[in-house]
């Protein structure tokens, strides 16, 4: 049988013989090369150990089995993404890559103008071995894939509510206070008498605004304080002042929105008569207040899902070889 | 929900734009293992571990912070972990278990073995890229608009002939370059500016902040450019667009002025550190090294040439390498653990070293940056720094407002809406005075107002520091006491009695029985010359309080070294007057 085929082959014209034998060989070689290209090296034990130690330095503990598997998977995915970015030639006409290649070209002493140096650097494959170019191309590919997620349908109320509940711990809020005060500086030699007299007047007339402020001294931050969290009030007036106000509010002695003045309350600067304009007890920021943040996070999560699917498909396409 | 509501009259925010972690070569070699996450945890009020093995925490959280590790071999030392004394045994163990002799040997081995070029290893680019990404990720993770602001940044550490020309680069947003510019690429600040300008053109808004002019040997604010050529209008414009503020207080001393430059300034001899940082023992020349001198040179150039390369504002920061901001004297924990990580090291009790090598004795506790910004966001704080509505403190958090204008009423600060009124006809700190409304206007008026740190010491006085140019083209400086505590008044010679001193050196305590909680003044320049340029800035001085070394001495049970007490302070960005040309 084989002898007959050889005889048949010998009787064929040379051109036909070249086509019949050459084409399958060429196709086979192309297939083999393609198969070879779509393989990434598995990270070596040594490089993985470096990654584990790096992780340990950041986290304060050596990664467990699952964490080590995650580190390995991330490393493989990065290798796949980088190879795919090279296949798509994302490095072409990229300013970051060119700047980097110019720097590398200068380092190894290449001569010529910038365009020549970049061309020679590409010819030498310097773009394949530069860590910054590698990271840049991975990020570039990821950004292109994330962009495919758009336009994203805005999340419905149920999605936002679910995400709000799941992250409720994040939205804890310290008590907030908005207040005005009449200030009596500790620098004043007759501070005590002035405070007593002002207290009498404020109680008798229930003055408000500028008329009340004028009974006291000017204060650098003004008489009306914008809403601020209680710890910030403590930073501004001293801890005992903030504690006294919080205590008075909780005991019902100082009612937010009430017309009368409460005091005198001692601070690091002197004495104050205070009216609380609004007070938010410790609680949680409402869903309406964080809707923008949650929507933003939802959109990022959709982008991440698109990227995750893409990377998973890419990893199926690529094989992992031995390093 | 923001911690403080936004305000068009600006809120006061406190921060540190100069913090290092173990990603910096010198920090890692000298024992630091903390990372950017630790720096932000600390700034927000959390406790972290100091490299010497004890917990550190700031009493009051900061509003903003930036990790600015050295870009040269960023993160490489951490990855390569070369064989140095602290690779095998941490500082705490050495301090608690070893003899002074053995600790000193470890100190000498580290200092002798320390060479920034240890970072020249194969694959260092990849290590630096990962460290830069960690810096970015950490800043992004900790940024909480309205509550706590982080900035992505790095330190460009140019050191020609061991003279300090360092700058911190701060980015306004999340768009940053792939890798930070380093002095390995160029030691010339103009090359840094070129890179920053290129980045700004591609949407990465940024600025650079020079620091430690005090150890630049006259190079930081020189009368010529880095390459020795003359300064021209292009250089001046580039410098001011790239470097709108300078850092004037930090651990390695103050850069406001030097007694040699300001012999008539009774408060100039404050936390002076002028020893060149590396190499043999030598000292930085004062001329060209200090901010006030630079402001004076700037107006001289404005007068003679029509351009001013030194019209910049000021901030303070830490330059701590421990991922922290040790701004309080009583809890000072040092800058580089091996040099000052414990009271014993700082005061020379844990090491057997001649005093000339105990440089940390002359270091200060950290400074702080104060910024008047609408809200606590990257954009608002960055923009305030760019417009120079900032001031520096040597650590305390006194509030200071400073405005300049024409014809402010004497009772401005007592009026109901002084800020709106001051801005209607004038400018805040960092601004340029508008032209006077009428030709024959008398001198400009300045409204200045200071409130003590609520957790700190009372105030001694407010001063206005003026620099102006004489007919012969040379500049002069004069200091006016514009508000004094305790009802003091200058005598007929202009001398002001001292505020007093309540510091108990044996116990490291003081009392607020002297000084004022608040001082203010509306001051008109009595010596104004409308034909020449001038600058004015405010300085607020606290009553004497114990220096960190006094607190350390009490802990160690030894006599406190001099000075036992210091007068901490705030220095504002200046307001400039330029005659119409």
B403-440 pLDDT, tens digit per residue, is 999 989 999 988 878 898 899 889 999 999 988 877 66
Say if the Cβ atoms of A269 and B452 lie within 8 Å: yes
Look at residue B265 and tell me whether its pLDDT is greater than 90. yes
Q: Is the peptide bond before B193 cis (omega within 30 degrees of 0)?
A: no
What span, in angstroms and rounded, lies between the C-alpha atoms of B50 and B98? 19
For residue A213, the chain B residues in CB contact (below 8 A) are 416
Say if the Cβ atoms of B178 and A132 lie within 8 Å: yes
B126 touches chain A (CB under 8 A): yes
Say if the Cβ atoms of B3 and A173 lie within 8 Å: no
Question: Does residue A93 come out as left (phi exceeding 0), alpha (psi in the -120 to 50 range) or beta?
Answer: left
For residue B78, the chain A residues in CB contact (below 8 A) are 57
Say if the Cβ atoms of A289 and B419 lie within 8 Å: no
Q: What percent of chain B has pLDDT over 70?
A: 99
- The SS3 call for residue A273 is strand
Say if the Cβ atoms of B11 and A226 lie within 8 Å: yes
| Residue whose C-alpha is closest to residue B445's, from B518, B522, B513 | B522
Distance from CA of B461 to the nearest CA of A (A): 13
Interface test with B, best of A220, A236, A239 (most B CBs within 10 A): A220
B25-78 pLDDT, tens digit per residue, is 999 998 899 999 999 999 999 999 999 989 999 999 999 999 999 999 999 988
Residue A131 has its nearest CB partner, among B79, B129, B451, at: B129
Q: Where does B157-228 show beta strands of DSSP type E? A: 167-171, 206-210
Q: Which residues contact B78 (CB under 8 A, 6 or more apart)?
A: A57, B22, B23, B28, B127, B131
- Report the DSSP beta bridge partners of residue A305: none
Q: B485 and B544 in contact (C-beta within 8 Å)?
A: no
A45-104 pLDDT, tens digit per residue, is 888 888 888 777 666 678 899 989 999 999 899 999 999 999 999 998 887 788 788 888
ipTM of the complex: 0.88
More reliable by pLDDT, A180 or A172 = A180
Q: What is the mean pLDDT of residues B121-135?
A: 89
What span, in angstroms and rounded, lies between the C-alpha atoms of B320 and B335? 4
Could you tell me the pTM of the whole model?
Answer: 0.80
Q: What is the mean pLDDT of residues B393-403?
A: 98
Q: A29 and A309 in contact (C-beta within 8 Å)?
A: no
Q: Is the peptide bond before B370 cis (omega within 30 degrees of 0)?
A: no
Q: What percent of chain A has pLDDT over 90?
A: 41
For residue B178, the chain A residues in CB contact (below 8 A) are 96, 100, 132, 135-136
Look at residue A15 and tell me whether its pLDDT is greater than 80. no
Look at residue B149 and tell me whether its pLDDT is greater than 90. yes
Interface test with B, best of A173, A221, A231, A236 (most B CBs within 10 A): A221
pLDDT at B422: 92
B420 touches chain A (CB under 8 A): no
A145: which 2 tokens?
């894939």
Interface of A with B (CB under 8 A): 50, 54, 57-58, 96, 100, 130-132, 135-136, 173-174, 176, 178, 185-187, 210, 213, 217-222, 226-229, 231-232, 235-238, 267-270, 285, 289
Distance from CA of A35 to the nearest CA of B (A): 29
pLDDT at B150: 97
For residue A57, the chain B residues in CB contact (below 8 A) are 33, 35, 78
What span, in angstroms and rounded, lies between the C-alpha atoms of B72 and B131? 11
Interface test with A, best of B2, B3, B37, B41 (most A CBs within 10 A): B3
- Least confident interval from A201-210, A248-257, B124-133: A201-210
Say if the Cβ atoms of B452 and A130 lie within 8 Å: no
pLDDT at A51: 83
Say if the Cβ atoms of B179 and A285 lie within 8 Å: no
For residue B60, the chain A residues in CB contact (below 8 A) are 235
CB atoms within 10 A of CB B182: 20
Look at residue A247 and tell me whether its pLDDT is greater than 60. yes
Say if the Cβ atoms of A132 and B125 lie within 8 Å: yes
Give the count of Cβ contacts less than 8 A between chain A and B. 96
A234: which 2 tokens?
């403590």
Q: Please, which pLDDT band fits residue B398 given cuts at 50, 70 and 90?
A: very high
Distance from CA of A13 to the nearest CA of B (A): 58
pLDDT at B175: 92
Look at residue B187 and tell me whether its pLDDT is greater than 90. yes
- Report the DSSP beta bridge partners of residue A319: A39
Q: How many residues does chain B have?
A: 581
B123 touches chain A (CB under 8 A): yes
Residue of chain A whose Cα is closest to the Cα of B59: A235
pLDDT at B533: 95
pLDDT at B14: 98
B10 touches chain A (CB under 8 A): no
Say if the Cβ atoms of A289 and B485 lie within 8 Å: no
Interface test with A, best of B377, B517, B540, B570 (most A CBs within 10 A): B517
Q: Is the peptide bond before B197 cis (omega within 30 degrees of 0)?
A: no
B560 touches chain A (CB under 8 A): no
What span, in angstroms and rounded, lies between the C-alpha atoms of A313 and A81? 11
Interface test with B, best of A131, A230, A291 (most B CBs within 10 A): A131
Q: Which residues contact A53 (CB under 8 A, 6 or more apart)?
A: none
Q: Which stretches of B172-252 are DSSP H helices?
A: 189-201, 233-242
Look at residue A204 and tell me whether its pLDDT is greater than 90. no
pLDDT at A108: 86
Say if the Cβ atoms of B517 and A270 lie within 8 Å: yes
B517 touches chain A (CB under 8 A): yes
Instruction: Give backbone dihedrals phi and psi of A239, rounded to 5 degrees, phi first.
Output: -65, -40
B46-55 pLDDT, tens digit per residue, is 999 999 989 9
A123: exposed, middle or buried (Cβ count in 10 Å: 0-12, 13-18, 19+): exposed
Say if the Cβ atoms of B3 and A130 lie within 8 Å: no
A292: which 2 tokens?
């923008």
Q: Please, which pLDDT band fits residue B155 given cuts at 50, 70 and 90?
A: very high
Say if the Cβ atoms of A218 and B126 lie within 8 Å: no
Say if the Cβ atoms of B416 and A210 lie within 8 Å: yes
B137 touches chain A (CB under 8 A): no
Q: A145 and A310 in contact (C-beta within 8 Å)?
A: yes
For residue A131, the chain B residues in CB contact (below 8 A) are 123, 125-126, 129
What span, in angstroms and rounded, lies between the C-alpha atoms of B211 and B315? 10
pLDDT at A6: 67
Q: Please, which pLDDT band fits residue A31 given cuts at 50, 70 and 90?
A: low
- The SS3 call for residue B399 is strand
B194 touches chain A (CB under 8 A): no
A210-234 pLDDT, tens digit per residue, is 889 989 999 999 999 988 998 889 9
pLDDT at B547: 98
Look at residue A116 and tell me whether its pLDDT is greater than 60. yes
Strands B390-393, B565-566: pairing is: unpaired
For residue B485, the chain A residues in CB contact (below 8 A) are 187
CB atoms within 10 A of CB B88: 10
- The SS3 call for residue B541 is strand
B339-355 pLDDT, tens digit per residue, is 899 999 999 988 888 88
Say if the Cβ atoms of B517 and A135 lie within 8 Å: no
Look at residue B85 and tell me whether its pLDDT is greater than 90. no
Say if the Cβ atoms of A268 and B419 lie within 8 Å: no
B571: which 2 tokens?
């220095």
pLDDT at B115: 77
For residue B415, the chain A residues in CB contact (below 8 A) are 218
């Amino acid at each position: 049988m084989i002898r007959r085929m050889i005889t048949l082959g010998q009787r064929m014209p040379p051109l036909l013989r070249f086509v019949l034998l050459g084409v399958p060989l060429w196709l086979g070689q192309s297939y083999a090369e393609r198969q070879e290209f779509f393989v990434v090296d598995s990270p070596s034990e040594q490089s993985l150990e470096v990654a584990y130690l790096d992780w340990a330095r950041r986290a304060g503990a050596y990664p467990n089995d699952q964490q080590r598997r995650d580190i390995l998977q991330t490393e493989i995915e990065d290798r796949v993404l980088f190879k795919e970015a090279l296949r798509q030639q994302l490095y072409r006409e990229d300013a970051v890559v060119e700047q980097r290649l110019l720097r590398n070209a200068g380092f190894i002493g290449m001569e010529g103008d910038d365009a020549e140096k970049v061309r020679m650097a590409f010819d030498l494959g310097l773009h394949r071995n530069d860590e910054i170019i590698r990271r840049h191309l991975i990020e570039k590919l990821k950004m292109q894939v994330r962009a495919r997620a758009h336009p994203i349908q805005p999340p419905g109320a149920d999605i936002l509510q679910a995400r709000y509940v799941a992250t409720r711990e994040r939205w804890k809020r310290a008590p907030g206070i908005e207040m005005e005060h009449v200030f009596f500086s500790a620098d004043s030699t007759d501070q005590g008498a002035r405070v007593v007299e002002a207290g009498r007047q404020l109680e008798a007339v229930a003055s408000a605004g500028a008329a009340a402020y004028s009974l006291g001294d000017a204060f650098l931050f003004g008489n009306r304080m914008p809403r601020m969290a209680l710890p910030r009030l403590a930073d501004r007036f001293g801890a005992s002042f903030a504690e006294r106000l919080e205590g008075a509010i909780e005991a019902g002695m100082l009612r937010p929105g009430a017309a009368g003045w409460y005091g005198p309350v001692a601070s690091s600067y002197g004495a104050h008569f205070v009216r609380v304009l609004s007070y938010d007890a410790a609680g949680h920021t409402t869903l309406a207040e964080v809707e923008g943040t949650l929507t933003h996070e939802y959109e990022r999560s959709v982008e991440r899902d698109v990227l995750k699917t893409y990377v998973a498909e890419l990893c199926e396409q690529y094989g992992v070889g031995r390093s | 929900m923001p911690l403080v509501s936004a305000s068009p009259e600006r809120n006061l925010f406190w921060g540190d734009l100069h913090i290092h972690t173990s990603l910096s070569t010198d920090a890692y070699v000298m024992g630091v293992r903390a990372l950017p996450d630790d720096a932000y945890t600390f700034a927000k009020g959390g406790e972290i571990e100091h490299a010497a093995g004890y917990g550190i925490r700031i009493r009051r959280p900061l509003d903003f912070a930036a990790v600015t590790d050295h870009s040269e071999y960023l993160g490489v030392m951490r990855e390569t972990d070369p064989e140095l004394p602290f690779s095998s045994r941490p500082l705490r163990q050495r301090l608690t278990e070893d003899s002074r002799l053995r600790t000193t040997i470890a100190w000498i081995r580290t200092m002798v073995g320390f060479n920034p070029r240890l970072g020249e290893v194969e694959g260092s680019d990849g290590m630096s890229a990962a460290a830069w990404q960690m810096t970015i990720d950490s800043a992004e993770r900790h940024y909480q608009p309205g509550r706590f602001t982080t900035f992505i940044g790095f330190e460009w550490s140019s050191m020609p002939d061991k003279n300090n020309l360092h700058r911190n680069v701060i980015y306004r947003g999340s768009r940053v370059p792939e890798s930070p510019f380093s002095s390995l690429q160029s030691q010339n600040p103009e090359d840094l500016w070129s890179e920053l300008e290129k980045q700004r053109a591609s949407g990465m808004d940024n600025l650079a902040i020079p620091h430690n002019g005090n150890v630049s040997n006259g190079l930081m604010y020189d009368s010529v450019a880095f390459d020795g050529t003359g300064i021209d209008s292009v250089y001046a414009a580039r410098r001011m667009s790239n470097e709108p503020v300078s850092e004037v207080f930090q651990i390695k001393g103050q850069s406001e002025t030097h007694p040699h430059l300001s012999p008539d300034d009774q408060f100039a001899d404050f936390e002076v550190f002028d020893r060149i940082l590396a190499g043999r023992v030598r000292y930085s020349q004062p001329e060209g090294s200090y901010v006030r001198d630079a402001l004076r040179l700037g107006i001289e150039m404005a007068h003679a040439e029509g351009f001013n390369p030194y019209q910049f504002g000021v901030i303070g920061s830490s330059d701590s390498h421990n991922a922290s901001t040790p701004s309080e004297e009583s809890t000072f924990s040092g800058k580089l653990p091996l040099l000052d990580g414990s009271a014993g090291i700082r005061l020379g009790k844990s090491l057997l070293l001649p005093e000339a090598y105990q440089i940390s004795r002359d270091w200060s506790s950290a400074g702080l940056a104060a910024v008047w910004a609408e809200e606590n966001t990257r954009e608002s704080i960055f923009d305030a720094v760019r417009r120079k509505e900032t001031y520096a403190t040597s650590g305390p958090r006194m509030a200071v407002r400073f405005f300049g204008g024409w014809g402010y009423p004497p009772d401005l600060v007592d009026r109901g809406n002084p800020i709106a009124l001051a801005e209607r006809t004038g400018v805040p700190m960092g601004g340029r005075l508008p032209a006077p409304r009428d030709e024959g206007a008398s001198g400009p008026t300045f409204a200045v107002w200071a409130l003590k740190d609520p957790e700190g010491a009372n105030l001694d006085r407010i001063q206005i520091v003026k620099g102006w140019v004489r007919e012969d083209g040379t500049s002069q400086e004069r200091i006016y006491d514009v508000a004094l505590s305790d009802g003091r008044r200058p005598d007929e010679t202009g001398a002001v009695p001292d505020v007093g001193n309540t510091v108990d050196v044996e116990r490291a305590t003081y009392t607020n029985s002297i000084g004022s909680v608040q001082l203010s003044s509306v001051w008109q320049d009595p010596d104004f010359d409308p034909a020449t340029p001038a600058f004015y800035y405010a300085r607020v001085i606290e009553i004497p309080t114990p220096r960190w070394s006094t607190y350390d001495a009490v802990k160690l049970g030894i006599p406190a070294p001099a000075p036992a007490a210091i007068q901490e302070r705030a220095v504002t960005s200046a307001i400039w007057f330029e005659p119409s040309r």
